[in-house]
Chains A and B, each alone.
Chain A
Amino acid sequence: MLEVSGITQIFGGVTALEDVSFSIKKGDITGVIGPNGAGKTTLFNIISGIYTQSSGHVLLNNVDVSGQPPEKLARLGMVRTFQNIELFGGMTVLENVMVGLHTKSSSGLLACSLRMPWSRSEELNIRTAALKWLEFTGISELAEVTAGNISFGKGRLLEIARALAVEPGIILMDEPAAGLNSRETLGLARLIQRIRDLGITVVLVEHDMDLVMDICDRLLVLNLGRKLAEGTPQEIQENREVIAAYLGDAD
């Protein structure tokens, strides 16, 4: 599904990532963990096309997508969410999700201005699909509320609904549990599993170890910009290097 090989990222002399390689299998939930400053978010920004790496390649479904802009990646089936949710605050919740269906529709400037019959039926389809995703994430009752006015936890769900509307093959989530209370986190865990059940590959950066250990099929551990370990949650929990990195070298 996703293959990352030899990614190195240098910011003005500081090496944020060094020769990171891994691959992610279709249908897995993969967690990327590591102490603060390990380079997790940088890695996400590179994979999702927001940064361009200094060297290395990203392959999506065996196609080299290194250096492609995010809008191109979305069309290739990869979408992401942000650590500090990026909602369209001036629009309603429903409209937010409808934006996610942009790539699923094609009426141009002229057709939209003239409200041609096909653009009207397209609009109806967009609305129906958007409502479906709101239902999937459990926030249907907020459909007509302005997105700027909903709680952080609901905003998180909205961001996920919006990303799912793109109908991605793979979704990257940057710290989806950050800022959520424990009940919301539990709901999120179930939601992520349901997303996987739709056949969507999930990759998440996360600090909440309970959540990660609970739902992830595989884990990737970064430390100081390098890959430290990779394996099942069980293997990672028993990995001495990982324990040392998290707790500091005690011995």
Chain B
Amino acid sequence: MNRDMIKFLGFAALILAVPFALSGGYLMNVLVFVGIHTMLAIGLNLLLGYAGQISLGHAGFFGLGAYLSGILTATYGWNPWLAMPLAAAVVGGLAFLIGFPILKLKGHYLAMATLGMGIIMYITFNETIGLTGGPSGLSGIPNIAIGSLTFDSDKKNFYLIWSFTLGMILLTLNLANSRIGRALRAVHDSEVAAQVLGINARLLKVQIFALSAVISSIAGSLYAHTMTFISPASFGFNFSVELLTMVVIGGLGSIYGSFLGAALLTLLPEFLRAAQDYDIIIYGAMLMMMVMFMPRGLVRGVPDLLRKLLKKRGGKHA
């Protein structure tokens, strides 16, 4: 057993112990969201932090997963366990196809194109009223069940969501430490050098784009089945920006950082009830501050800062 595995098990134990420490159902509900947001942030981080490709349209993939699952189960009576993988496959396939032309673009242009893609999806959720219920939303989505165990309480949902989230963390950690993760970081650092070594950078980027869409779609399905109600407002441009903020705050290319960013951004508004609605000011300020003062994110930036401070102290004594 290596250090990474011990770290992961410690993290998992800590998370799964939370329900024993907390009795409040409300906070439990918030933690369910932390789990969903963590999955989404990890999905985006694979693309942004590892492959170095930005997306401002991931809320769209999240929404597409939620709607596909919601429509298949609520309208057509499918079992959620069937709807979820089908939705993920459709979203992944779509992302794979869009990926080829869209990832030809770089930097600012890629940001704009993915943004446009996300908005087109958002408009589609709003306008295909016959399918999605339009702006007033889609209700009556069934909870997920295993046999006679229905995940219909916050506590049960907590365990459901977090088993997915922890599984996803483990898989992405493995991926990041594999030949694929290395190849991604290589493409990020120097695309031409990676190509010269035989890495098909374009295909790799498209694969990761599709993978991160699949992760977003699964998070969307889970969201739909725990909320039992979805509406387009949850899948707009603002949410894409919120995801981006989570990833940047936690740290590009850090899986645990994505958890930290997701947890912070999900919990913060809850603690700042009074400042509700104004959380976008905080997001904006945080995004700017992070890029300016801590571009490596909290997970790496805080230790960097401490080390610097300690050095200064040491310097003074010397």
Cα–Cα distance between A74 and B192 once the two chains are bound (Å): 12
B171 / chain A contacts, CB cutoff of 8 Å: 113-114
Instruction: Give the contact stretch, choosing among B60-68, B173-181, B218-226, B301-309.
Output: B173-181
Least distance between B212 CB and chain A CB atoms (Å): 11
Interface string of B248-283 (1 = CB under 8 A from A): 000000000000000000000000000000000000
Interface string of A54-75 (1 = CB under 8 A from B): 0000000000000001110011
Please tell me if the beta carbons of A126 and B179 are within 8 angstroms of each other in the complex: yes
Cα–Cα distance between A119 and B179 once the two chains are bound (Å): 9
Of the candidates B179, B192, B194, B211, the one having the most CB atoms from chain A within 10 angstroms of its own CB is B179
Please tell me if the beta carbons of B197 and A103 are within 8 angstroms of each other in the complex: yes
Please tell me if the beta carbons of A163 and B190 are within 8 angstroms of each other in the complex: no
Least distance between A184 CB and chain B CB atoms (Å): 21
Cα–Cα distance between A71 and B181 once the two chains are bound (Å): 17
Instruction: Give the contact stretch, choosing among B11-19, B199-207, B227-235.
Output: B199-207
User: Is A91 at the interface (CB under 8 A from chain B)?
Assistant: yes
A-B contact count (CB 8 A): 103
Cα–Cα distance between A99 and B198 once the two chains are bound (Å): 9
Cα–Cα distance between A105 and B181 once the two chains are bound (Å): 13
Please tell me the size bucket of the interface on B: 20 to 34
Please tell me if the beta carbons of B189 and A98 are within 8 angstroms of each other in the complex: no
Cα–Cα distance between A82 and B37 once the two chains are bound (Å): 42
User: Is B195 at the interface (CB under 8 A from chain A)?
Assistant: yes
Give the residue of A79, A112, A126 whose beta carbon is less than 8 angstroms from that of B174. Answer: A112
Please tell me if the beta carbons of A119 and B178 are within 8 angstroms of each other in the complex: yes
Give the residue of A91, A112, A166 whose beta carbon is less than 8 angstroms from that of B179. Answer: A112
Please tell me if the beta carbons of A112 and B181 are within 8 angstroms of each other in the complex: yes
Is chain B's interface secondary structure helix, strand, loop, or mixed overall? Answer: helix
Interface string of A21-38 (1 = CB under 8 A from B): 000000000000000000
User: Is B156 at the interface (CB under 8 A from chain A)?
Assistant: no
Cα–Cα distance between A102 and B186 once the two chains are bound (Å): 11
User: Is A89 at the interface (CB under 8 A from chain B)?
Assistant: yes
User: Is B183 at the interface (CB under 8 A from chain A)?
Assistant: yes
User: Is A201 at the interface (CB under 8 A from chain B)?
Assistant: no
User: Is A162 at the interface (CB under 8 A from chain B)?
Assistant: yes
Give the residue of B185, B189, B190, B200 whose beta carbon is less than 8 angstroms from that of A71. Answer: B200
Cα–Cα distance between A82 and B200 once the two chains are bound (Å): 19
Question: Which residue of chain A has the shortest Cβ distance to B168 in the bound complex?
Answer: A113
Please tell me if the beta carbons of A113 and B174 are within 8 angstroms of each other in the complex: yes
A71-B199, A102-B197 as given contacts; A112 in contact with B180, CB under 8 Å: yes
Of the candidates B172, B186, B190, B200, the one having the most CB atoms from chain A within 10 angstroms of its own CB is B186
Please tell me if the beta carbons of B179 and A71 are within 8 angstroms of each other in the complex: no
A126 / chain B contacts, CB cutoff of 8 Å: 179
A90-B185, A109-B207 as given contacts; A98 in contact with B192, CB under 8 Å: no
User: Is B149 at the interface (CB under 8 A from chain A)?
Assistant: no
A119 / chain B contacts, CB cutoff of 8 Å: 178-179
User: Is B193 at the interface (CB under 8 A from chain A)?
Assistant: yes
Cα–Cα distance between A107 and B181 once the two chains are bound (Å): 12
A88-B185, A109-B211 as given contacts; A80 in contact with B196, CB under 8 Å: yes
16 other contacts beyond A86-B190, A107-B179, A122-B179, with CB at 8 A cut-off?
Answer: A48-B196, A69-B195, A70-B196, A71-B195, A71-B199, A82-B192, A86-B192, A88-B185, A88-B194, A91-B189, A95-B185, A102-B198, A102-B199, A105-B179, A112-B175, A119-B178
Q: Chain A interface (Cβ within 8 Å of chain B)? A: 48, 50, 69-71, 74-75, 79-80, 82, 86-91, 95, 98-103, 105, 107-109, 112-115, 119, 122-123, 126, 162-163, 165-166
Q: Chain B interface (Cβ within 8 Å of chain A)? A: 171-172, 174-175, 178-183, 185-186, 188-190, 192-201, 207, 211
**Which 8 pairs across A and B sit closest by C-beta, in order of nearness?**
A74-B198, A112-B178, A86-B193, A103-B198, A88-B189, A113-B171, A70-B195, A86-B190
18 chain-A/chain-B pairs, Cβ below 8 angstroms: A69-B195, A75-B198, A79-B197, A79-B198, A86-B193, A87-B193, A88-B185, A88-B193, A91-B182, A91-B185, A91-B186, A98-B179, A99-B182, A99-B183, A102-B182, A107-B178, A107-B180, A115-B174
